[in-house]
């Protein structure tokens, strides 16, 4: 393996992306943006899966990342559908305004 | 160009999943051609669940490992499939009258329940982290939709959104945990992970440890344990009541099965690093669940918080990680299924259109008007609290003895203390039913199917409590 | 037991520090003067013809979501296509089963009216 970038770089990249996603979910109040941050988290996972595969000469992680992508797509469609159906009753995507029940 | 040999495909051991998937797709397509009357759709769904339950016994000489060790049929999974099909069938029966009352006319509802059950079966039978992930996602995505199925009701919308955002957030943690464990061991198969841990010194690898912590967070969200329980009360409150009952039993049982497989079966050697974390989570769940329930005025929220505290008790079975732990886990989930479906059945009977009659105060004086209903509700609540000789008592006793056998005495003492606290709010509801004057009129139409579910639940709760031996025998062998 | 987590903790701290640091740095160092061109959705010189904020029909959403779903499923065809000859009959049968399940989904969407524009 003639790779000059060590595994740890990929791991730091993926952890950084993951933390950016987590912070985004916790800080942002727009449902769509929160949703995008969750996608960032999933893609951070994909990066580390592929990195592990490359450095340990495995294949399972690639299969795993296919599954993650596929599931992420399914989640996107369900999530957008939920947001759209909410928007019909209450034209906002600000999470602070969904407070009929206390969080 | 060499040929890749075909993998061994063992369709018989996958039979429950296949049967149920086919039925779910059938329901989806049949529904397109029936208009208002959903009887046919419901009938097909129930037949599908029955066939699934039967096909779970297709394999002998358990455990059978198939699909390159990523799927297993063992006693645990067969018993869990029974619990799943039972709880899904009860949920569908509960929905029949409820959906008519609330005007939920989508046939997809039944299809989603079946698909969710497929996910639960996969979750309980998988021994590969990829499959566990897929199982969890099948279950979760179906539940997001089911929670928001009343599209015109803002509460249902809100429940769906909260459940979706927090569920997807948790998925991120779970996945990252799985990835790190994969990175530390180089495999996603639980069996191989267990072997590797036993042979090598993976225990101190930071990747593995961080993976374990993230897995606990991810699973913790999915089973609604403290401190990841925030979604549970809101989602249980906002979702349609049969879906709430369904959510509280099946998916939770499935997540616990996977929890048990990942932690107690694959990583028992690493227990020093996860045991104490899980103990804290368990104690906090019991305590905060019970304190939260005391402060509730809405019956669905009360039951939601009580389910958080029950998660704490069930976690003790995972911590005990012996064979007694796994059999007490399935017994608890079975008993819990009966109690929860009974309690929510009564809630549906008393409830009225558009979320009315869900406050605890609305139950005042129920005993004077409908004594039978008040007695059944009391039985379910007392059983949830753990009163002998009901099912809840035997289940708790069984879990506690599994933990004591492993030497977790303090944990068990705390759990027993919490059971005592929990009686406060269960008795509060009973006091309202028996000691207070009725406030308004009860307009109860005894919907036959809902009553049927309550009767089944009653028989189960009392039967498991008084004659636990046959089921106990079955769980141990 | 706790010292085992130190390594993991350091990694998490570094990652958090990088994430927070970048957000902080851009807010401190980033140029802040605003001019009209900067506020336009595209800074590439082409002036906009209509307001980008107008709403478009919710029908597009349905098409988009269905597209995403069926598009992502295609991801499973690529590894299969590359290994098609080596997988032999078994791969063919499996892929047809997969397509059959997708077909059930498509049939559902079609009959349910998800593909009708009007």
Chain A: residue whose CA lies nearest to B234: A101
Residue B233 has a pLDDT of 92
Is residue B136 a part of any domain in this protein?
yes
Interchain CB contact of B25 with A (< 8 Å): no
What is d(CA A62, CA A49) in angstroms, rounded to the nearest whole number? 7
Locate B236 and state its tokens. Answer: 């249980």
Locate B362 and state its tokens. Answer: 């609305």
Q: Do A58 and B188 touch (CB under 8 A)?
A: no
CB crowding B284-305: b at 16 or more within 10 Å, else e = bbbbbbbebbeebebbbbbbbb
Mutate to test the interface with B, among C3, C8, C113 (most CBs of B within 10 A): C8
Q: Residues in chain A whose beta carbon is closer than 8 A to a beta carbon of chain C?
A: 11-12, 15-16, 18-20, 23, 66, 69-70, 73-74, 76-77, 80-81, 84
Q: Do B182 and A64 touch (CB under 8 A)?
A: yes
Overall average pLDDT of the A84-97 stretch: 82
Overall average pLDDT of the C81-96 stretch: 88
Is residue B6 a part of any domain in this protein?
no
Across the interface, of B134, B151, B154, the residue whose CB is closest to A100 is B154
Say if domain A7-92 classifies as CATH 1.10.287.3510. Answer: yes
Domain map of chain C by residue range? 2-112
Across the interface, of A15, A69, A73, the residue whose CB is closest to C69 is A73
Total number of domains in chain B: 1
Q: Do B273 and C4 touch (CB under 8 A)?
A: yes
Q: Is the pLDDT of residue C75 over 70?
A: yes
Residue B274 has a pLDDT of 86
Across the interface, of C1, C11, C86, the residue whose CB is closest to B210 is C11
Is residue B7 a part of any domain in this protein?
no
Residue C40 has a pLDDT of 65
Q: Do A19 and C15 touch (CB under 8 A)?
A: yes
Q: Do C75 and A70 touch (CB under 8 A)?
A: yes
Beta bridge partners of A30: A94
Q: Do A11 and C69 touch (CB under 8 A)?
A: no
Locate B375 and state its tokens. Answer: 């007695």
Residue with tokens 């927090």: B166
Residue B324 has a pLDDT of 83
What is d(CA C102, CA C108) in angstroms, rounded to the nearest whole number? 10
Chains in contact with C, where contact requires at least 3 CB pairs less than 8 Å apart: A, B
User: C-alpha distances in angstroms, B281 versus B18, B268, B271, B312, B414?
Assistant: 36, 18, 15, 7, 13
Residue A79 has a pLDDT of 92
Q: Which domain holds residue B378?
A: 15-476
What is d(CA C59, CA B283) in angstroms, rounded to the nearest whole number? 49
Low-confidence ranges of chain B (pLDDT < 70): 1, 201-204, 354-355, 477
Chain C: residue whose CA lies nearest to A13: C15
- Fill in the DSSP letter of residue B7: P
SS3 B56: coil
Nearest of B202, A6, B209 to residue C8 by alpha carbon? B209
What is d(CA C92, CA A12) in angstroms, rounded to the nearest whole number? 40
Cβ contacts of C72 on chain A, cutoff 8 Å: 69-70, 73
What is d(CA B360, CA B431) in angstroms, rounded to the nearest whole number? 10
Cβ contacts of B148 on chain A, cutoff 8 Å: 82, 85
Residue B244 has a pLDDT of 94
Beta bridge partners of B65: B72
| Residue pair B404/B412 in contact by the 8 Å Cβ criterion | yes
Residue A2 has a pLDDT of 53
Cβ contacts of C62 on chain A, cutoff 8 Å: none
Q: Do A75 and B145 touch (CB under 8 A)?
A: no
Chain C: residue whose CA lies nearest to B7: C90
Residue C42 has a pLDDT of 60
| Residue pair B125/B119 in contact by the 8 Å Cβ criterion | no
What is d(CA B236, CA B241) in angstroms, rounded to the nearest whole number? 8
Chain C: residue whose CA lies nearest to B204: C4
Q: Looking at this predicted complex, what is its ipTM? A: 0.94
Residue B62 has a pLDDT of 75
Cβ contacts of A42 on chain B, cutoff 8 Å: 171-172, 175
| Residue pair B138/B118 in contact by the 8 Å Cβ criterion | yes
Is residue B303 a part of any domain in this protein?
yes
Q: Do B2 and C1 touch (CB under 8 A)?
A: no
Nearest of B334, B396, B319, B390 to residue B79 by alpha carbon? B334
Is residue B10 a part of any domain in this protein?
no
Give the minimum alpha-carbon distance from B118 to chain C in angstroms, rounded to a whole number. 15
Residue A28 has a pLDDT of 85
What are the two backbone dihedrals, phi and then psi, of residue B224, each rounded to the nearest 5 degrees? 65, 55
Q: Is the pLDDT of residue C43 over 70?
A: no
Give the minimum alpha-carbon distance from B252 to chain A in angstroms, rounded to a whole number. 20
Pick the CATH number of C2-112 from 1.10.10.10, 1.20.58.1610, 1.10.8.50, 3.40.50.10140: 1.20.58.1610
Is residue B8 a part of any domain in this protein?
no
Residue B202 has a pLDDT of 62
């Amino acid at each position: 393996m003639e790779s000059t970038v060590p595994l740890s770089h990929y791991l730091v990249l993926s952890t950084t992306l993951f933390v950016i996603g987590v912070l985004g979910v916790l800080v942002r109040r727009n449902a769509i943006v929160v949703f995008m941050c969750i996608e960032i988290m999933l893609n951070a996972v994909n990066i580390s899966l592929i990195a592990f595969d490359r450095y340990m000469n495995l294949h399972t992680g690639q299969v795993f990342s296919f599954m993650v992508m596929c599931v992420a797509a399914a989640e996107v469609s369900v999530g957008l559908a939920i947001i759209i159906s909410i928007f019909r009753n209450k034209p906002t995507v600000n999470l602070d305004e969904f407070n009929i029940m206390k969080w | 160009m060499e040929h890749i040999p075909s993998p061994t495909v063992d369709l018989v051991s996958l039979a429950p999943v296949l049967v149920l998937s086919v039925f779910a797709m059938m329901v989806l397509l049949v529904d397109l051609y029936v208009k208002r009357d959903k009887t046919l759709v419901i009938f097909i769904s129930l037949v599908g669940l029955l066939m699934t339950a039967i096909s779970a016994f297709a394999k002998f000489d358990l455990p059978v490992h198939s699909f390159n060790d990523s799927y297993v049929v063992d006693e645990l999974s067969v018993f869990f499939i029974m619990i799943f099909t039972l709880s899904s069938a009860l949920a569908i029966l509960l929905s029949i009258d409820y959906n008519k009352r609330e005007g939920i006319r989508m046939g997809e509802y039944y299809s989603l329940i079946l698909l969710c059950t497929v996910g639960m079966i996969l979750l309980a039978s998988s021994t590969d982290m990829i499959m566990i992930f897929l199982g969890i996602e099948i279950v979760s995505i179906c539940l997001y939709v089911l929670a928001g199925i009343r599209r015109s009701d803002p509460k249902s919308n809100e429940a769906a959104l909260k459940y979706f955002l927090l569920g997807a957030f948790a998925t991120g943690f779970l996945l990252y945990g799985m990835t790190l464990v994969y990175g530390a061991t180089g495999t996603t198969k639980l069996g191989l992970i267990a072997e590797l841990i036993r042979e090598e010194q993976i225990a101190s690898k930071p990747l593995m440890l961080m993976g374990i912590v993230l897995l606990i967070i991810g699973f913790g969200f999915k089973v609604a344990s403290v401190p990841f329980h925030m979604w549970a009360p809101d989602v249980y409150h906002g979702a349609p009541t049969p879906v709430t009952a369904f959510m509280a039993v099946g998916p939770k049982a499935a997540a616990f099965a996977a929890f048990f497989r990942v932690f107690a079966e694959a990583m028992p050697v690493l227990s020093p690093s996860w045991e104490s974390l899980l103990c804290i989570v368990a104690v906090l769940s019991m305590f905060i669940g019970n304190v939260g329930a005391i402060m509730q005025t809405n019956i669905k929220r009360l039951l939601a918080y009580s389910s958080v505290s029950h998660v704490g008790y069930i976690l003790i079975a995972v911590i005990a990680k012996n064979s007694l732990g796994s059999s007490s886990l399935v017994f608890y989930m079975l008993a819990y299924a009966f109690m929860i479906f009974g309690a929510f059945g009564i809630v549906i009977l008393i409830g009225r259109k558009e979320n009315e009659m869900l406050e605890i105060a609305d139950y005042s004086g129920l005993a004077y008007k409908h004594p039978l209903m008040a007695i059944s509700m009391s039985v379910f609540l007392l059983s949830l609290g753990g009163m002998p000789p009901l099912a809840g008592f035997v289940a708790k006793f069984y879990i506690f003895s599994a933990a004591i056998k492993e030497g977790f005495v303090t944990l068990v003492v705390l759990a027993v203390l919490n059971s005592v606290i929990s009686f406060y709010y269960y008795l509060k509801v009973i006091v309202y039913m028996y000691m207070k004057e009725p406030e308004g009129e009860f307009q109860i139409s005894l919907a036959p199917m809902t009553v049927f579910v309550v009767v089944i639940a009653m028989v189960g709760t009392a039967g498991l409590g008084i004659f636990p031996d046959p089921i106990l025998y079955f769980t141990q062998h | 037991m706790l010292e085992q987590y130190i390594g993991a903790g350091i990694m998490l701290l570094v990652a958090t520090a990088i994430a927070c640091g970048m957000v902080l740095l851009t807010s401190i160092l980033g140029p802040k003067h605003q001019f009209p061109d900067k506020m336009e959705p595209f800074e590439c010189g082409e002036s906009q013809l209509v307001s980008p904020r107008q709403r478009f029909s919710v029908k597009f959403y349905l098409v988009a979501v269905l597209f995403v779903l069926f598009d992502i499923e295609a991801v499973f065809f690529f590894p299969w296509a590359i290994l098609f000859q080596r997988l032999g009959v078994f791969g063919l049968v499996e892929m047809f089963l997969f397509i059959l399940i997708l077909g059930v989904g498509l049939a559902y969407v079609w009959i349910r009216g998800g593909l009708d524009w009007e």
